[in-house]
A and B are shown apart, each in its own frame.
Chain A
């Protein structure tokens, strides 16, 4: 059984650029949630995708968007990057509202 994987591991961008982060969910899971973890903070819920539709969103602006594909993998897109977007982005997969969600190792995004 393959766990949750994320790519890339690290990424450096400049202000105003766009970025795409990727997540492969654990085998058998149909739900993907994304979290942002700023340095020294706990993770903050960005949004969740279930059956390729957004299913809940946290307090993040529309420039944070996502996709879920038929194989349940997911992308997080961030447009017009700001310095405050620098963070660890965590993806978690689960079987919709059942049992626990499993987290990937994260993508460290640095915005200069």
Chain B
């Protein structure tokens, strides 16, 4: 079955600390992979996407993610977190850019 697992429901970090959010997927075909961010009361904003090519992808707001086919993972990283990064983060997979399967999300809390 096609699915996305985000093992961490809630993560708390201090401002300036590094961040890694985990994402594992199960998908039969070559996946399109995405990370979205959702602030309270807002829709989803795309942080970055992976279709093919270089397995390390750069996104907006200083985020990056690495595709590891052998581990079926697409973890999101940021070297230094800002208080404004506090939000809900969703990993998603699809056969194209739409009709996506989302994980249950990771809530990021940032302490000053």
Contact = CB atoms under 8 A, between A and B. Distances in A.
Interface of A: 4, 31, 33, 35, 40-45, 48, 56, 58, 90, 92, 94, 97-106
A4 B45 CA distance: 12
A31 B100 CA distance: 14
B105 interface: yes
| Contact-residue bracket for chain B | 20 to 34
29 contacts: A4-B43, A31-B98, A33-B98, A33-B99, A35-B102, A41-B104, A41-B105, A42-B103, A42-B105, A43-B90, A43-B100, A45-B100, A45-B101, A48-B98, A48-B99, A56-B99, A90-B43, A90-B44, A92-B98, A94-B97, A94-B98, A97-B97, A98-B97, A100-B46, A100-B97, A101-B98, A103-B45, A105-B41, A105-B42
A56 B96 CA distance: 12
Nearest to A106: B43
Interface string B38-81: 00011111100100000000000000000000000000000000
A33 B102 CA distance: 14
A45 B105 contact: no
Contacts of A102: 46
Contacts of B36: 103
A93 B69 CA distance: 29
B75 to A, nearest CB: 17
Closest CB pairs A-B (n = 10): A42-B102, A103-B43, A103-B44, A105-B43, A43-B102, A97-B96, A101-B98, A42-B104, A100-B46, A33-B98
A40 B49 contact: no
Nearest to A31: B98
Contacts of B42: 105
B49 A100 contact: yes
A106 B38 CA distance: 11
Contacts of A90: 43-44
Given A40-B104, A100-B49, A45 B99 contact: yes
